[in-house]
Each structure stands twice: as C-alpha cells, then as structure tokens.
A and B are shown apart, each in its own frame.
Chain A
C-alpha cells in the first residue's frame, strides 16, 4: 500500500510522513489551548420525545434551547459555548439510564438536566449520583427530595406534590368542607393524596372518602356512583396526564361537576387541550407557570417575548417553562462559578438566587429543592377565552417560601 501511494501521487511517502509528523507535533502543542478555549459546555437533556408526553417534551426542548441560545449570545463562559444534547428517553427508566450512561461516558456531558416522569428522573439520578455528575431534575415528585434518593449532585428545579397540594388546599378548602378524593394508585398519586390530607387537616376540612383507581385506567364509570354517594363539596382528583383528562371528562359526563367542585393538584396545558374546554370548565389547580403571568411579572414577559421571537409567536407552556428555568439557572451558576467543575457549580447553584421567568427562586440547602411560587389557576369557559392559548385564569400566586416545603428533618436529611 505504501508502494502504491508513491506510485500514485506526486507526493513521496517520505514527504508525506514528514509533513504529517510536523502537523501532528504542532497540533499536539497547540491543541490543548485550542481545545480548552473551544470546549463546549455540554448539557445532557433526556426527555420523552416518543410517547404520550411528546408535546411536553418538544416544548421543553424548545425552551431549553432558548436558554442555551441566550447564554451563548451573551458570550458564553469566556467564549465557551453551551451545547444541549437532547436524547429521547422514551418515558422509559431503563432507556433513560442507558441514555444517561451514554451522555456521561461517550458524550462527556458536564451536566444533565431533564426527565418528565418520576420513574425516569429517579433512574437518571441513580446514574448521575454514582458518577458524581450534576443533575437538575424537572420532574414533579416528592421522592427525589427524600434522603434516600438525594445526593449533593441532585437538584430539583420543579415543584413537588407537597407544594402544589398545599397551595391548592389553602385556596379551595375551608373549615368543614367535605372532600372526596379520586387517586391514581401509584407513588405520585399517593404523594398528592398525602399532601392534600395534610393540608386539609391543618385547615379543618373533612375527608368524605377516598377511592384509589388503577394507574392508566381508561374508564372511571365504576367509581362514579360511590363518589356521588359520598356527597362531597369538593371532588379532588389526584392523577396526571391521560388519567387526568379522562377522569375529569367522565366526572363531567356523570354530572359530578354540578354536585361538587373539581379540584386537581396540577392543571396542565396539554391535558386541558386533550379534555376540551367544556369538560375542564371551572376546574381549579396549581401550576408552575402560565404565560399570562407576564401581566404582573417582568421576567415572565421577558421570557415570553424571547420565546415568541424565537418560535413564531408561540407561547411557552407550564412544562415547557421548566426546560427554560432549569437550564438558564444552571448556566447562570456556571457563569458565577467561572468553570464547569462540578463542585464549583454545585456551590454556585446552592448560593444562587435567580429570577428568569416567574419571580425569584433559590435552592434550599438540605435537599436542593427550588423554592418558588405556585400559581393557582382555573380553567376558563370556552366563551371567556381571549384566544386559543388563553386556557386558564390565574386566581392567585402563592409566593415561594420554605414553609411550603416539608422540613429537612422530615425528609430524612441530617443537618
């Protein structure tokens, strides 16, 4: 082959070898400087592109990419640009674990942000904490705050059921209110129930009854008679996603909405679209973000405007906003730390107060939970919607405070 080379080209083998060695030497000397200056800040972003939450995932990706773009346009970290490595976790914890391993081992990601379902977040967390990689979770869950799953490398930017249920209960329950609960029989459902009952006990509201339904059940007709027989003032539906859309729709079909007020722990954009305006009318719930917050919060307006500019007048949804707040705050910490070194960034995140989309937020030290405001929203009647995206009305904004969270002791964290 070497003979062929000298036969073919005009460049002799010797020259070729000499030239390559020279280039190699130069590169070897110069490379480190070049590489360090150019080495991007890699943020792994597992998200369920495939599956029932594809729309939420897409919104999260767009928001996250917006945050990265803003960071880069502002000069990055001394010229180092951020890069978002999006991976499809297929809403499957095993798949998410594999993708996270790839992101860490092959793609050399510096940080991981993401996950929508609780199970996925916990599996990503298991991988990141054993390999000492910083992980910011944006999945709504109580479990990740607890000592068992926690690590110094774990941050939780999203709301958790405890916060949302407490806020909704404070708004909707009064002393003596009779509340019936329809709960999805899985960890998240139980977390929501626990949060509501705790808040209800403090307010003095009564439990009229509770029914557990199988997670993913499409049909709730068999629960309706019993719920009605409880004669509640409030029907509190503790589930998520398709379950929420289905159960609210069917509660409406069975006329339960005329008998009781329907209250949910999280009121989300896509579920409201799936269920329709009529079924969701007057349902009250909590949310981390609603675009019309821009009317009162300047950072929301800034976020929305940037989003509109980047994405053809679209507005960010609740889950989408998580992508933005998590990535943006992470990059702020990186900038503050001046480095991508994990421990420096952890220290920076712990000390950071940020206001990027919804008002001030900061992380609590013991469990790295982001203390932030909770919005109480109500689904609008179709006739009251001022536009296709005007799905909800903000009833009140519960300001962020540590009192809204469970105590560090309760979560098992030693001081």
Chain B
C-alpha cells in the first residue's frame, strides 16, 4: 500500500469520483448488451467480451478504409451486429429446447474462435487507434483535467440509454420485446414470431457490445485479448445490477466504476478482488441482482 492517505483532498476525491463515473460508462455499455440478451433469450453470452473486441477491430477496419471516426462509430457496431444475427440464427437457435447450459457452452467456444479469427485477420499485435482530432485534448473541469474524449464516451452512453429507454417503454416494438421477455408462449399464441424477435434482440445486444468496443478503442490499445479482460467486469456489473434489468445495468455500472476508482486511491491491487467478492455476494444474497426481475425491464 502506498502513502495514499497523505495526499487526499476534496478536489482529488471529486476527481476520482468523476473518473469512476466515466469508467462506469464503458461498463454500462457492456452490461446493457449482456443484460438484454439474458433477459430476452436466457442466454449467458460468454463471448460478449470478445464481441466487444471484434467491435473495436471493426472500428479499426472502417477507420482504415474511410478515415472517419464517425463512420467507424456507426458502421462498426452494425457490421458486428450483423455477425450477431448470423450467430443467433445458425449457432444458438439450433440449441432451443435443449439444456439451458448449452448456449453458455457454445458461446464459450465461440469466444476462442473470435479471438483467433481476429488474430488471423489482423495479427496478434496491438493496433493503435488514434483519438479523433475534434475530440482530443483535455478539458479543465475545475477540479482537474479530464480528456474530452472520455466525456464524449459518457455522452454517447447516455444517448444510447435514452434511445433504448424510449424504444422499450414508448414504442410498440418495445412493448413486444418486453412482453416476449416475460412470456414467450403467450406471445407466440398471439401470433408474433418470437424467433424473429430473439434474432433481432440478440443482434442488438451484440451491436451494443461492439459499440462499446469502438468507443473504447481510442482509450486503450486494440488487441485480441482485450475482450477477455473485460468479460469478468461485464459479468460482475450485469450480475450486480440484475440480469435482464437495464436500470440495473446502469446503476451497477456506475457503482462498480466508482468502487474501482475509489479503491484505486487506497489499494488498487484489491480492485479485482473487491469486484468479484461483490459479485459473489450479490449472487448469493440476491441472485436476481439489485434491480432484477424476471423478464426484461427498465
């Protein structure tokens, strides 16, 4: 442990809290997709972290071809989302009616395929991804300096949340999605093609993970292992917030970000232990998480 307590002051703590919130934004992105997929299809997607990584690479790919970060931000997740559609249709759907562990196992194997596939296509080295000009630099927040790009990430995540909330709570399609998460049988009886619903929701979840990847690319080096590192965090956040709850993903994401940030002040090496201990605790005391309910809900 370092001489942590010596340098604490209000400004530092405020700055640390703020960093935690910004860090949480990336967690939220990951947890959202994971939560949606579980809430709707009941699948724990062990390849979620790897789709995050594929998203980052899709961003690199589009960036190389168009030179535009905005194109990468838009097109990257769409490309990977399309991949998600194929995965659901051809790999996950055949598992319907079998043991609920099977999709988990399949996505576990899929993770290896994604990592190695990326290694083959892009090599094992880390690739640089430049922060776009218009978003680079630091902003003086009064309490400290913060990269403008990270503020942008927080903004994008907030925007995505608003869009999702609106879509789920206020549109007819959202109503169908929520109903399908609660009671697929009734929906079928009502004549709605539940399989098509699952297909698109899965794709959406994957696209969200990929969007997280593109957003993260300028902040960290893009490499094939970056997905494995975040998977544990993604699980922790989703479980703590509640599998299937979007509100839970948001709250838990921010909470975990803040916890990680504050432990960084005193004992950074304990951050991972703290996170997994918290995750285990929640799973044991309240397995549905802080906000979890059966089905999909905000």
Contact = CB atoms under 8 A, between A and B. Distances in A.
Tell me, yes or no, whether A and B come into direct contact in the complex with CB atoms closer than 8 A.
Answer: yes
A54 interface: yes
A270 interface: yes
Contact of A222 (B9, B20, B138, B149): B20
Given A209-B2, A225-B15, A225-B144, A214 B126 contact: no
A209 B4 CA distance: 9
Contact of A55 (B22, B125, B219): B125
B173 interface: no
Interface in B124-165: 124-128, 130-131, 136-138, 144-147, 149-150
A271 B127 CA distance: 9
28 contacts: A52-B124, A52-B225, A55-B125, A213-B269, A214-B269, A218-B216, A219-B23, A219-B220, A221-B19, A221-B23, A222-B16, A222-B19, A222-B23, A225-B144, A226-B12, A226-B265, A228-B144, A229-B12, A242-B126, A249-B221, A253-B149, A254-B138, A273-B125, A274-B128, A274-B223, A275-B128, A275-B221, A279-B128
Given A55-B125, A214-B269, A250-B219, A209 B7 contact: yes
A185 interface: yes
Contacts of B282: none
Contacts of A271: 126
Contacts of A212: 2, 268-269
Contacts, number: 127
B128 A276 contact: yes
B220 A249 contact: yes
Contacts of B225: 52, 242
Contacts of B130: 276, 278
A224 B128 contact: no
Nearest to B140: A255
Interface in B1-56: 2-3, 7, 9, 11-12, 15-16, 19-20, 22-23, 26
Interface of A: 51-55, 185, 209-214, 216-219, 221-226, 228-230, 242, 245-246, 249-250, 253-255, 270-271, 273-276, 278-279
Contacts of A216: 229
A326 B165 CA distance: 61
B128 A222 contact: no
Contact of B19 (A51, A53, A224, A253): A224
B210 interface: no
Contacts of B125: 54-55, 270, 273-274
A106 to B, nearest CB: 27
B123 interface: yes
Interface of B: 2-3, 7, 9, 11-12, 15-16, 19-20, 22-23, 26, 119, 123-128, 130-131, 136-138, 144-147, 149-150, 216, 219-221, 223-226, 229-230, 260-261, 264-265, 268-269, 271-272
Contact of B126 (A226, A245, A253, A278): A245
A274 B221 contact: yes
A185 B269 contact: yes
Nearest to B269: A185
A221 B144 contact: no
User: Shortest 5 CB-CB distances between A and B: which pairs?
Assistant: A274-B126, A276-B128, A54-B124, A222-B264, A225-B15
A226 B7 contact: yes
A225 B128 contact: no
Contacts of B144: 225, 228
A225 B131 contact: no
B262 to A, nearest CB: 8
Contacts of A276: 128, 130
Contacts of A246: 220-221
Given A52-B225, A223-B268, A254 B147 contact: yes
Nearest to A279: B128
Nearest to A49: B124
B15 to A, nearest CB: 4
Nearest to B222: A274
Given A221-B23, A225-B144, A274-B126, A211 B268 contact: yes
Contacts of B219: 219, 221, 249-250, 253
A242 B223 contact: yes
B29 to A, nearest CB: 13
A272 to B, nearest CB: 10
